Structure 1
Amino acid sequence: MPNDASPPPQPPVGRAPATSQAEKLRLIDQAITHKQLHLDAHINLHAFSAYCGLRPREVSTLINTYHHKHFFEFINYHRVEEVKRRLTENSQETILEIALQCGFNSQSAFQRFFKRLEGITPSQYRCQAKRCGPPPAPALS
């Protein structure tokens, strides 16, 4: 989702309440993998929870317990993963453009979180990714 001021995501209509923890975790996973709510710069625990059809405290507890992260760490982790994916593509976009498209609100927050997770800067990551592509296939004789 781009950085626009769009209304909060709405949950699918007619969804039955999730009952098991596995079902609730599946809903959280779908909010990331299918709906890509982490790319929305304005996402918060309440909007995320509403999309999943769960209570905010429930979502927070599940993320803490099963992903060992607080809500925004969880969101930013998925944002960084998307940034990394895009940095490895042959894109003409700047690192800042990619970071903003992936939901980060500022360059400093993005740089800080990326380096904390990866141990290198986004520029270093992009450079390494372009130089260290897959090894060449062995020549067939």
Structure 2
Amino acid sequence: QYSLDKQFLTWTEYVSSALETMRIRNYLKQFSGRIHLTAIRDPLTGIYNRRGFEELSSEIYEQSILHGEKFLLVAVDIYNLHEVNRKQGSSVGDKILMTVADALSSSCLGNEICCRCNGDHFYLIGSYSYRFDAGRTHIDAIQQYCNQHLEEREFGLHVKLLMSYFCEKVNQTVSLAELIAYVDHIISQKQLEEEKQLAYWKNMNTLRQKIYSRPQENWNIADMAQMMLLSRAYFQRLYKQNFGVSAMSDVIAARIAMAKKLLANGQNTLSEIAEQCGYHSEIYFMQQFKKETGMTPTQYRTKGNME
């Protein structure tokens, strides 16, 4: 009664083959899922890559239309990442990328995802009954996280993020591609403005070096603004924004610094020093020197000789 007939052995063989086939199919399904997950994930940051963004953003966009919810699209660009890579190396640049990705991930709600596209460009997308200030709230949270984790002294320069957002109800009349183009256009405008500001800063810095190297020249706002091809009001505002002092205050500081050097030498008369520092009146020079330093040129020279 314990003997196994041929029919039973054949049946067990078929069952074993069927179970093994099921095991292989399940393994291949899981393996295929892992391959797909790897294909849509960014290997450096762990968030979705461009392929993942293209697949999932369409689903979220359609969901927002279907449920009548607001569609959220936040774009983030690391403006000076190329400069960081050039000066500090790609390892530092990778750390910045991972930090920005963490900032987006930490600000994501359960119905949102974040993606890294085109190297230094990120998106955060979602569909929900958002408040009117949801986009601004996300941007502030991302900026605050990066301010805490991207310290200037660690990276040698300030890491600047350019951000834009869209958060409104959508319908079929507006395509997802148009919304992406909209937020990217705002980023492009901000990039142009940053480049313009950088060019202004370089020109301003060159001008400031000239002021300190040649303080005796007849520096005035009209001529300096003309050199920068700016209006007088905008030039003065930009100069103070870049250096923290007004242009004419810097001229006075440069002249006083030159006067201190000449007084320390002790070889020139006050009249000669005043002329070499750009003052046409010895009396005005003495008055301004005392106002800026708290002592007369003679007292400063005497103090220097005593030291």
**Structures share fold, TM-score greater than 0.5:** yes
Q: Secondary structure at the match of 1:103?
A: coil
Between the aligned partners of 2:258 and 2:202, the Cα distance in structure 1 is 20
The equivalent residue for 1:118 is 293
Task: Flag the 1:67–1:96 CA change in 2: closer, same or farther, 3 A.
Answer: farther
1:39 aligns to 2:210 (yes or no): no
- Note if contact 1:111-1:121 (Cα within 8 Å) is conserved in structure 2: yes
The within-5 A match list for 1:26-65 is 26-34=202-210, 36-40=213-217, 42-65=218-241
Q: Deviations over 1:10-32 (max 9, x none)?
A: xxxxxxxx711x54344233223
- Note if contact 1:37-1:48 (Cα within 8 Å) is conserved in structure 2: no
Between the aligned partners of 2:215 and 2:234, the Cα distance in structure 1 is 18
The equivalent residue for 1:99 is 274
Letter in 2 for 1:128: K
Task: Give the structure with the higher percent strand.
Answer: 2
Letter in 1 for 2:274: A
- Note if contact 1:31-1:37 (Cα within 8 Å) is conserved in structure 2: no
Residue 50 of structure 1 deviates from its aligned partner by: 2.4
Which runs of structure 1 show a deviation greater than 6 angstroms over 4 or more consecutive aligned residues?
none
Residue 118 of structure 1 deviates from its aligned partner by: 0.5
**TM-score, scaled relative to structure 2:** 0.33
Q: Secondary structure at the match of 1:19?
A: helix
Cα RMSD for the two superposed structures? 2.4
Task: Flag the 1:52–1:129 CA change in 2: closer, same or farther, 3 A.
Answer: farther
Between the aligned partners of 1:26 and 1:126, the Cα distance in structure 2 is 36
Task: Flag the 1:130–1:46 CA change in 2: closer, same or farther, 3 A.
Answer: same
Bigger relative contact order, structure 1 or 2, given CA contacts below 8 A and separation 6+?
Answer: 1
Residue 48 of structure 1 deviates from its aligned partner by: 1.5
Of 243, 255, 259, the residue aligned with 1:83 is 259
Q: Secondary structure at the match of 1:113?
A: helix
Letter in 1 for 2:216: L
**TM-score, scaled relative to structure 1:** 0.65
Residue 131 of structure 1 deviates from its aligned partner by: 2.2
The equivalent residue for 1:15 is none
- Note if contact 1:83-1:98 (Cα within 8 Å) is conserved in structure 2: yes
Between the aligned partners of 1:88 and 1:121, the Cα distance in structure 2 is 13
Gaps of 5+ in 2: 1-194
The within-5 A match list for 1:125-140 is 125-132=300-307
Residue 93 of structure 1 deviates from its aligned partner by: 1.4
Between the aligned partners of 2:201 and 2:284, the Cα distance in structure 1 is 27
Of 19, 33, 46, the residue aligned with 2:196 is 19
Q: Deviations over 1:94-117 (max 9, x none)?
A: 122111111112122211211111
State the aligned residue count.
112
Task: Give the structure with the higher percent helix.
Answer: 2
Letter in 2 for 1:117: E
Letter in 2 for 1:104: Y
Residue 123 of structure 1 deviates from its aligned partner by: 0.8
Letter in 1 for 2:303: Q
Letter in 2 for 1:29: N
- Note if contact 1:114-1:120 (Cα within 8 Å) is conserved in structure 2: yes
Task: Flag the 1:26–1:112 CA change in 2: closer, same or farther, 3 A.
Answer: farther
